[in-house]
Amino acid sequence: MTAQFRTPEAKMIELPTPCLLFLGDTTHLSYAKTAMGLKDWAPELCLAEIALPAATVTTGLPRMTVVEAHAAGARSIVIGVAAEGGQIRDNWVPLLVEALEAGLDIVSGMHSRVEDVPALYAAVQRTGRRVIDVRRPPANIAVATGERRTGKRLLTVGTDCALGKKYTALAIARAFAARGVDCDFRATGQTGIMIAGNGIPIDSVVADFVAGAAEMLSPAAAADHWDVVEGQGSLYHPAYASVSLGLLHGTQPDVIVVCHEAGRTEIIGCPGYALPTLDDTIALNLMHARRTNPAARCAGVSLNTASLSAADAAELIAETAAALGMPVADPIRGGAAFDGLVAACLA
């Protein structure tokens, strides 16, 4: 399942591999999206996992200590969870220090910097190990111009955070490539960047420059070239809507694919905030996308049915497609429904 798409304009990131995936103390699978994304899309980079006692999630990889992992060949420990606010938690620090002392580098996609955590920074200085921080945007990002660019672009958007925008973009890019379509997967988050080896961490860009970063990430291209851009956040999220809007304006998508998780009813991390309907999500995203690309259209819906049986998933996908009058599919399950969604994207 390894993605083979690259962004030639972006700086390549070389991870020390294989990696030990650190799950912290997370109890919600959605917050382990970095570890899960690497395991699912770049399995050749992953050796094992490690977690604190309170953690209840797993990638399914073998559990190892940092010493065992280093002896087995691991060269880095990846912070594989996305804690709220992107902070390195105090109770993670002892294990991360232990990893440095065992000879592992740290790969971090957190907002907080290692140098801001005194005990961790001191251990880095003492051991001479490296810290690879993938959440640092490039310098000199320009303000967006809004000028139309050649080439074609697809952006994944969602009813909420952490429900499949990255997986959908990767699956669609892979499907495009299998059909002989010239395409690039454009990563906008730390996990996507680790998988692809490049990209721009869009939520670390100063607000005025988010749309400009999106323009930089998906530059003018040949008329038949597609950029498949990983979406972030949701226009309905009380905290992260601004990033979603900047991506919509800056990517100037020709096509959007709306992502949703079956069974989710509230915005993750925001109790009391109900999820929007798919009809409303499509309408609102198209309204904003058409500010910079009047021809933007919705090709269909990516429905995360991981919590359902195969039969229940097929039934829900069919019902949702009939209700919306457009293709609906779970990209991970694939099949005829996903083939139909891909065809609608390219139509």
What is the domain partition of the chain in residue ranges?
Answer: 19-129, 152-346
Q: Are 260 and 278 in contact (CB under 8 A)?
A: yes
pLDDT at 8 over 60: no
Q: What is the pLDDT of residue 4?
A: 32
Q: At what angle do helices 93-101 and 118-127 cross, to 10 degrees?
A: 0
| Dist. CA 187–CA 229, nearest whole Å | 6
Residue with tokens 């962004």: 7
| Helix (H) or strand (E) run with residue 4 in it | none
pLDDT at 9 over 70: no
Residue bearing the bigger pLDDT, 136 or 291: 291
Cα–Cα–Cα angle for 17, 3, 182, rounded to 5 degrees: 140
- 327 preceded by cis ω (within 30°)? no
pLDDT one-digit tens code per residue, 298-314: 999 999 999 999 999 99
pLDDT one-digit tens code per residue, 23-50: 999 998 888 989 999 999 999 999 999 9
Q: What is the pLDDT of residue 87?
A: 87
| Dist. CA 35–CA 41, nearest whole Å | 10
| Dist. CA 158–CA 256, nearest whole Å | 10
| Dist. CA 310–CA 324, nearest whole Å | 21
Tokens of 85: 């606010």
pLDDT at 94 over 60: yes
pLDDT interval class at 83 (50, 70, 90): confident
Weakest-pLDDT range from 5-14, 92-101, 217-226, 248-257 = 5-14
| Dist. CA 302–CA 344, nearest whole Å | 12
Rg of the Cα atoms in the chain: 20
Tokens of 236: 């309905």
Averaged confidence pLDDT in the chain: 94
Q: What is the pLDDT of residue 11?
A: 57
Q: What is the pLDDT of residue 3?
A: 31
pLDDT at 256 over 60: yes
pLDDT one-digit tens code per residue, 136-175: 899 889 999 999 999 999 999 999 998 999 999 999 999 9
pLDDT one-digit tens code per residue, 57-77: 999 999 999 999 999 999 999
Which CATH code fits 19-129? 3.40.50.720
Is 152-346 a CATH 3.30.9.10 domain? no
Tokens of 310: 């195969």
- Total Cβ atoms within 10 A of residue 131: 17
